[in-house]
Structure formats: C-alpha cells, structure tokens
Chain A
Amino acid sequence: EAQVTQNPRYLITVTGKKLTVTCSQNMNHEYMSWYRQDPGLGLRQIYYSMNVEVTDKGDVPEGYKVSRKEKRNFPLILESPSPNQTSLYFCASRASSTEAFFGQGTRLTVV
C-alpha cells in the first residue's frame, strides 16, 4: 500500500529540547516536503527536497532543519523548539507534476 508514514502522531515537549519528527515514503518519490497547518493560515511549506541530498527552504523555515540522506526518508528536526512551533505538521511526497500524498500528521505542543 502506497503511504507516507510520520512519527510520532502526538508529541508534547518543553522549550529548548531537541526533537525529530520522522517521515518515510514507500513510493520512490523524488519530491518530499514538510508543511505546518495553523488556524486561518492553511498549509505552509517549511522545507522541501527534490531528491537525495537536495533540500531547500519553503515559506516558513526558521527554527527547522531537514536532511535527505535516503530517498525514502525526510526527517524534520527542531534543534531548540519554542512555543510558536506548536502546530500540526504534515509530511508529503510526490512524483514530479503529480498529486502529493500526505502523512497522517504530527500534533506538536511546545510548552
């Protein structure tokens, strides 16, 4: 079954404690990205990757890092989380010029 898997689904953490949200896809897609969803702001792209070792900033990259060492994995790293990063995060993958497939989401709360 084609899917994008992200973990964890829910996470509560404290300010400044580094965390990683994992994302894995089994469709051999070149393109992967991370979004955050906030009320009234829709889905905003954080970072994206067009292939292994190729990553670039999206619209709201501040406070986040990513890596793409393998085609299937695209983890999102928060080195020093802050309360304004409390949000709902989605990982997505797509082949070129096709629809994106999304993971189930990670609800992050930073206190």
Chain B
Amino acid sequence: DQQVKQNSPSLSVQEGRISILNCDYTNSMFDYFLWYKKYPAEGPTFLISISSIKDKNEDGRFTVFLNKSAKHLSLHIVPSQPGDSAVYFCAASAMDTDKLIFGTGTRLQVFP
C-alpha cells in the first residue's frame, strides 16, 4: 500500500511561471514532510521540509504547503527556471519510526 502518492508522473511548465507539484499521504501519524530534487546520475538532494505543526514553509523560490485535514502537501516553485527541470520526490516520516517513505516522483520540465 502506497502511503505517499504523487499522482502526476510528469509536469511541463514555461519558464517564469509557477510550478505546483502535489503529494498525498494516507498515514495520519506522519509529522514531518520533505521534498527532494533529483537530477539524472545524481543522488536526491534535499530541497525543503515542513513539520506538521506548520501549514507553510518558504525558502526563496520554493514554498511547501501542508493541508493536514486533506492529507495533502504541495510544492510551489515561483518563478520556474530551466535548471529546476528534475524529478521531485516528496517524502514523509513519523516520529515513532523515524523512517522516511517516498512517493513515486514527478518529473518537472521547465521550457523556455
């Protein structure tokens, strides 16, 4: 059973516009959520995180929103740049297990 789901395998956005990547989860025990970016031939790199006590966290062009009642989080990238083209994974963990569970990833392509 997939506890963390990214239902859009791919997303294409024009440079300068907003990119919105979505993630849903099923386990109400999750209390820490993260987004990772992955380029080909490299390991995933941490992008931004949010604790369940917050509903928004911002870092430069990247903002993560958490809607606990809907068990949904999203990553907004504004403005999108060609260098943002990568696969984005959302991940979640619960304090009691400290285990990170990943979604299946969304491939973002930002075109000029």
Contacts and interface: CB of A to CB of B under 8 A. Distances in A.
B44 A102 contact: yes
B43 A43 contact: no
Contacts of B91: 43, 100
Interface in B39-54: 41-46, 49
Contacts of B104: 40-42
Interface string A70-111: 000000000000000000001010101101111111000000
A58 B3 CA distance: 14
B105 A100 contact: no
Contact of B89 (A42, A58, A101): A42
Contacts of B66: none
Please classify how large the interface on chain A is, using the bins under 10, 10 to 19, 20 to 34, 35 or more: 20 to 34
A92 B34 CA distance: 14
A48 B9 contact: no
Contacts of B42: 104-105
Interface in A31-74: 31, 33, 35, 40-45, 48, 50, 58
Q: In terms of DSSP, what is the predominant structure of the interface of chain A? A: strand
Interface centre among B9, B32, B98, B101 (most CB of A within 10 A): B98
A87 to B, nearest CB: 14
Contact of A97 (B32, B44, B103): B32
Given A31-B98, A40-B104, A97 B93 contact: yes
B93 A42 contact: no
A97 B95 contact: yes
A21 interface: no
Nearest to B94: A97
Contacts of B36: 102
Given A90-B43, A99-B34, A102-B45, A42 B102 contact: yes
A102 B98 contact: no
Interface of B: 6, 9, 32, 34, 36, 41-46, 49, 89, 91, 93, 95, 98-105
